[in-house]
Structure formats: structure tokens, C-alpha cells
Structure 1
Amino acid sequence: MALTGATIGFFIGFGAVALFGPTAQNFVQVMQLSPTQVGFLVAIPMLTGSLLRIPFGAWVDTTGGKLPLLLLLLLSVVGIGGLYWMLLTLYPDRLGQSAYPLLLLFGALGGCGIATFSVGISQVSYWFPKRSQGWALGVYGGLGNTSPGLVSIVLPLIIGLWGLWAAYLISLTIVICGIVLYYILGQNAWSFQLQSQGLPRAEANREAARLGQEFFPQTSAVATLMGAARQWRTWALVMLYFTSFGGFLALTAWLPTYWQSFHAASYWTAIGLTAGFSLFSSLIRVPGGSWSDRFGGEAVAIMALAVLLIGAAIMTLSTGFTAAVIGEFLIAAGMGVTNAAVFRMVPLYVPDAVGGASGWVGGLGALGGFVVPPLLGGMVEWLGSIGYARGYAVFVALAVVSLALTGVLRAARRQPSSTTVHQSM
């Protein structure tokens, strides 16, 4: 029940990743946006969705995940509702460059739902024992991650049938329904439930341990953030997640523009390839979690990052359509499996501050979804059309750095267990 509730909450909130990707061309045509402006537009939901993961992930360690996740979804409702209002009142005739800042503002609010990831990760981690963390988090992340892919398919269909305004109205309705479902199904771990019933923290933790809970939080949000920040492995995991999940967010938003502008693909071909990327990368995260349980997160991450590197190199160097499709799906596989491996390692390295570590890793790591699209747009303005391909060199560099860091983590894991969790920067 708890896993189901958390997954539904994340699934609903995470759809904001594709808030602008499938509709970017509509705004480009009406507002005459430059490639860099398009990059910022598709990335802006990821800014709030990334940064808010840090405090909200830590907040879980003090109250449980239900209240933080509900608040994030409500903020997302405000953002999507604002976009709907803009389309009703301004689109298309009055939606010019002057409306661009307002569009970014509501996009940023809509992106708050993306931050549900770190809340749900912590919520799920406290429910499940160490031996099944990889599986549980893989199911949560994998199924929840399918949302952008489905949105990328459904949103254009709605636009084609009823118009752009209807797409955002239906999105708003779905998020509201998701809030109701999460409110009913979302459950905090035993220790939080017992404390809410009036039991002292120590007594609640003892009773929760008897019921099977293995991970317990620190006493405050600040303490859990600082505790996680003092451990150098947290920052290595941040970089890995910046590459894999931040990269996933960036490409989910950028790929429709890439396929249409560089390969002259039809609108529906671009949408289909983007949805395929998002769904494949999300679903492969589920077995990726099980592989991480079986073989270890570091070993699985090394293999996955190598696949990502090969895919990124193909897309950087090739201008052919078929090669680009192959490269895209290699990147998708590498990112999806690496995502699962990273969060398999978080509760092992930072068991006393899972929420704080999830906040840092999920928040700063996901910031790649905001940082990378403007870089890709800038490459196009700098190099011309070929910049659409050469921009993937960013992912080549990120994969190389992440491979090196994973090797360091793997070597450090062979050290005595007393340093595995508690060694500081």
C-alpha cells in the first residue's frame, strides 16, 4: 500500500517533466523563441523540481513523506492552473515575448511536482528492509518515471483533438485526482505513524523496529542534511545522478526539438521517439534495481555508464537517423539502470540520513535537467544545425567523469565497514 501510494504521487507529479517538451513548438511559433530560450523553457520546471528536492527530502526525516508530497503536488496545481489561465486569456494573439517571464514562472511552479521524487524515495526507503531496497526503489522509480513518456504521447493527442488549452486543463484535472488518490493511499513508515499517535520518538522507533523497520531518521531536517553533506560519498552519488537522472530529464524535454529540427522528423515521429526514450529508460530501471541488489550498485553502474558513453558518442559523431535512434536507446538504457543503481547505494552509505542524502542526490543531481538543455541550445546557436549532434558531447564528458567516480566508490567499498558509512569529506 505504501509503495503504491508513493508511486502514484511521484507518477502524478513527475509528469511536469514533459510540461513543455511536446508543446514547445507551439510556443516557438507564436512567441518567436530562440533555441536558447526554448532550452530554458523546457528546462524551467526542472529548476524548482530539482532544488526543492533538497529541503523536502530532508523534511521527510522529521514528519514522514505524506505532508511534504501533498504540498508539492498542490504547488504543481497552481503552476499548471496558471498555464491554463494564460492559454485562455493570451494564446495565441497576445502571447508574445513579453509573456515569456510569466510562462517561465508558471512552468517553475508546475515543476514543483517533480520534487516528489526525493520525498517518495525516503518514504519507501523507511518502509523496506535493506535486502529489498533495490527492488522497491526500482519499482517506485521505474513506474513513476513512466509519466513523462506517457505525457509525451497523450498531450499531443489531446492538442490535436481539442487544442492546446484542453491539454493543460486535462493535465490539471489529472494532478488533482492524483492528490486525492495519494491522500488515501500514501502512508508514512511505522515510526512516523507511532509518533503521530503520541509515542515518544525512542519508544516509537523501538516499536517500529519490532514491526520490521530497519532505517530510522535523524532528529531534524538540518541534522539530516548536514549529516549527509559531511559524507563524501553523498557528493559522488550526486554527480552520478546528475549524469543519469539529470540527463534523463534534459533529454525528455529536448528530444522533440532535436528530432524535428536536426533530422526533419515529423511531429509524431519526434513525439514517438521521445516517448520511447522516456518509457524505456524508466521501465529498465525496475530490473536495474534487482540487478543492483544482486551484483552491487557500483558494478551495475559501471556497466550502465559504459553503455551510456557509447550511446552518447554515437549521437555526437553521427548525423544519420538510424544511428541516432540506436544511440538514443543506448543512452536510455544506461541512464535508467544507473538511476536504479545510485539509489540502491544511498541507504547503504547514508543509513542514518536517508532523507537528507536523497535530497542532495535527487535535488542537485536532477539539476542536470535544468542545466543541460540551455547548453544544448547554446551549441546550436554557436555551431549552427550540426550543434544538435555535437551537443551530445556534454553527455560523453559526464559519462567519463561518472565512470571515474564509480570506480572510486567501488574501491572505497572494499575498505573496512567502519568507514563505509561514516567517513567524511
Structure 2
Amino acid sequence: MSTATDPAAGVETITATTAPARTGLRGRWIDDWRPEDAAFWAGGGAAIARRNLVFSIFSEHIGFSVWTLWSVLVLFLGPAYGVDPAGKFVLTAVPALVGSVLRIPYTFAVARFGGRNWTIVSASLLLIPAGAAALLIEPGVSYTTLVILAALAGVGGGNFASSMANINAYYPDRLKGWALGVNAGGGNLGVAAVQLVGLLVLAVSGAGHPRLVAGIYLPLIVLAALGSALYMDNLSQARNEKRGMRDAAREPHTWIMSLLYIGTFGSFIGFGFAFGQVLQVQFADVFSTPVEAAWLTFLGPLLGSLIRPVGGALADRLGGARVTFWTFIAMAAGATIVLVASQRHSLGLYLVGFIALFVLSGLGNGSTYKMIPRIFRLKHPDDHHEARRLSGAVIGIAGAIGAFGGVLVNLAFRQSFLATKTADAAYLTFIAFYALCVVVTWAVYRRRDFDRAV
């Protein structure tokens, strides 16, 4: 692929020398994008897709960190803030709820404004929750103010949906599992990264400086917005994906995949928000300070994020339905280990079970997202545009509903602790839900007409 500049128009033109068509960039809009064309892909399409993927990951990573900021900030809220454990679970549930709701309009925004343009806007919006938290959190602040600040952090949750819908359009079907897995995994690492930032602040400055955690992200947000502006592109074809959400809502597979995504991503993000609190409450006799619990909270999200691309790659190789099916069986086993550990008050076994849940939910995140474009490719084998249009919309819907699973996880923990003083009832609920997902995956996608193909 070669590039040239028209001196009169100041427009860069990229010519795919190995393909008959031309691809033009006008104001960062790419007019012709054919990832399924092997010659086009090898002639330069892959390089463009990879560049957009890199900066999409960075922006999404910061978005996840801001979204899950309150999983760390609640560890700083000691007696001076007057917030009990039940109130802290609300503070982590609120951003999960707002983020899940925003994922629908964020998915629309890619088609309306362009992937690059919306990434700039969505990254810039992160300045609001990070800046507000850096300015306002201090002893004596009202609980209402804390809830509002937590709600503002929800804007970080929307970034995932727009990022995934955008990257889905860049890659050919044979690489979607890998590309979406890498994109999502790099973003999910933001959950572990904010835990490490919180741990750093706790270790260096103590529990009296929660505002520093939010303040550290302000320059990183600016870098994410600038990187998106300078190095990302918009795809013109994305603007033609009309009525995708409406049509996707009529597809039974949309709601089935949304249920499965609650089990994978909903578990990952819900546990990411709640793990530190659960450790402190369940093992209060072991952890006397937030720092002691914080040392352990980042490991699960880190491993779950790193393994997500592996889930996508395994799905590319073995089939998404097969990987998802066995992942849910393993998740039910992992939740059983956590339940037994809780009843025996065994911290070591508890950590093994919970980290396994993080890792398995990461695998399932990758495999379920691989399933979505493949399902619609099988339904529309002769119409790649229709398959891409529907799969992009379903990714947005499933992402929103899956994120709402994070709310349910935190509310399950809150209710369990309020009712029984332990989290055992929540673990039993998780086991039952994973069993349901096993049955649904087998009944719908392990049948003869879908097995191996999906």
C-alpha cells in the first residue's frame, strides 16, 4: 500500500496496490474498508486496523480505570467518612449501573460520529469524574455527594461498548476473536491498574489521601484523547449501519448472548468492584488496614484481563460455544470452592477460588464476544454487511446488559451481608446462575447446527 498527498486539496490518499479499490482518508474518514478481502488486508488494511486497535486499547484502559475507581476509593473511606459496608457496596454498584446504561448510546455514537471522533469525546469526558473526585473527596463530605461522584465515574463504563463496536468493524471474521479479545483485555487491565495505583497511594501517602488516586489519572486522560485525535480513523461504512439496535433487539440470539455475557463480563466487573470490600468484611480479623487487603485485590483482575485474548484465540481455534460451555462449568466449580472457603474461613482457599473466577470470567469474555459476529455470519452467509451491522449492535446491547451484571453482583453481596452477615448466599446465587448458563449454552449453541461453527 502506498500513500500520496494531493497538494491542492491537502488530502492524503491511500492506495491499496494489491487490490483494485482505493481507500481515501479525508479528515480521518476512510471511505472504503474491506477486511474480508485478503489482498486488501495484506496490502495495508492490517496496519491501519492495528494502529486503531492500539489507541483504542489505551483509551478504553483509562476508561475502565476511571469506571472502577470507586472499587479503590471505598478502601480509603474510614470512620471519618461515616459510611458502613452496605453503603460502600452502593457506592460500587452505582458506577456499574450508570456505565451499563451508557453503553447503549455509546454504541450508537460510533455510527453517528465516527470511531475516532467519539473516542476523543469519550476519553475527554473522563476528566469530569476524575477531576471531581480529586477535588471533593475529604472527611466530612456528605454521602449524597459521594453517590453523585460515584455516578459520574459511570461514564468510563460506556467507553468499552463504543470501542468494541468500532474495532469489530476493522477486523475480518477470522481475526475478530483475537482482536476483540485483545481490545477488551487491554481495557480490562484498567481494573487491575487502578488497584495498583490505589495500593501505591496507600503505601506512600496513607489512607488519608484518596484524592490522589483520581488526580493521577488526569494527565493520562489527556494523553488518551490526544492519541485518539492524532492516530485513529473513522470508517465511513460505520455511518451506514442504520437501525442496527432496533433490528438486533428482534433477534433471540441478542438476549441469549446478553444472558451469557452477564455470566462472564458481569462476573468480572462485579467482582472487580467488590473484591476488596468482600475481603475486608469477610476476613476482618485478618486485614486490619486497607493496605493489607489492597495487596491482594489487583491480582484477580490482572490475570482475568491478561487471559481474555486467550479466550478469544481459543474460540477462534476451537469454537466460541465450546470454550464458553466449559468455562461456565469451571466457573460453577470455582464459585463452589469460594463457598467452601468462606464456610471454613480459609483465606488461602478463598483466594484460589476467587482468582480462578477472575481468570475464567476473562476466558469467557473472549469466547462469548467471538460467538456474536460468528452467529450472524452464519445467519447471513452471503451478506457480510448485514452480519457486521447486526453483530455490532448486539455487541453494544450485550455489553450494556453484561455490565449490569456488575450491579447485580454488588447488590447480591450487599443483601447477603445484610441478611446473614456472610456472603454465602451470594455465592450460592452465582453457582445457580453459572449452572443456568451451562444449560443455555448447551441447548442453544452446542446443537448440531451450531457446534464447532460457533
Q: TM-score, normalised by structure 2?
A: 0.80
The aligned runs of 1:33-112 (5 Å cut-off) are 33-87=83-137, 91-92=138-139, 94-95=140-141, 99-112=142-155
Which runs of structure 2 are paired with 1:106-185 in the superposition (5 Å)? 106-162=149-205, 163-185=209-231
Aligned with 1:11 (options 37, 53, 61): 61
| Aligned position for 1:363 | 400
Give the distance between the partners of 2:296 and 2:330, measured in 1 at CA. Answer: 19
Out of 404, 407, 415, which is 1:378 matched to? 415
Displacement of 1:413 in angstroms is: 6.7
1:233 is the counterpart of 2:270: no
Q: Which whole-Å CA distance do the structure 1 matches of 2:448 and 2:61 have between them?
A: 33
- Flag the structure with more relative contact order, 1 or 2, with Cα contacts below 8 A and sequence separation at least 6: 1
Post-superposition Cα deviations, 1:69-96, rounded to whole Å, max 9, x if no partner, equal 3333233211221112212xxx11x22x
- 1:405 positional shift: 1.6
Task: Show structure 1 runs of 5+ residues with no match.
Answer: 193-204, 206-215
Q: How many residues align?
A: 384
Deviation at residue 62 of structure 1 after TM alignment: 3.7
Most deviating of 16-25 and 320-329:
16-25
Of 41, 66, 70, 1:20 maps to: 70
Cα distance per residue 1:127-166 (max 9 Å; x no partner): 1100111111111111221111011012231244342222
CA distance in 1, matches of 2:102, 2:215: 25
Contact 2:324 2:441 (8 Å CA) reproduced: yes
**How big is each residue's C-alpha offset from its partner over 1:321-376, in whole Å with a ceiling of 9 and x where there is no partner?**
12111111221122011100111011123423233211110011111112221220
Structure 2 CA distance for partners of 1:413 and 1:120, relative to 1, 3 Å: farther
CA pair 372-346 structure 1, distance change in 2 beyond 3 A: same
Q: Which amino acid aligns with 1:329?
A: I
Larger of the two Rg values belongs to structure = 2
Find the counterpart in structure 2 of residue 200 from structure 1: none
Check conservation: 2:85, 2:281, Cα contact below 8 A: no
Uncovered stretches (5+) of structure 2, i.e. residues with no partner: 1-50, 377-386
Deviations 1:295-330 (A, max 9, x none): 110000011111111111111232311211111122
Report % sequence identity.
25
CA contact under 8 A between 1:17 and 1:253: conserved in structure 2? no
**Secondary structure at the residue paired with 1:20?**
helix
More divergent stretch after superposition (125-134 vs 16-25): 16-25
Partner of 1:345: 371
Does the aligned pair in 2 maintain the 1:249–1:366 contact within 8 Å? yes
Equivalences for 1:400-415 in 2 at 5 Å?
A: 400-411=435-446, 414=449
Contact 1:4/1:185 (8 A) holds in 2: no
Bigger share in helix = 1
User: Cα RMSD between the aligned structures?
Assistant: 2.2
Q: Which 4+ stretches in 1 moved above 6 angstroms? A: none
Residues 67-76 or 165-174, more deviating? 67-76
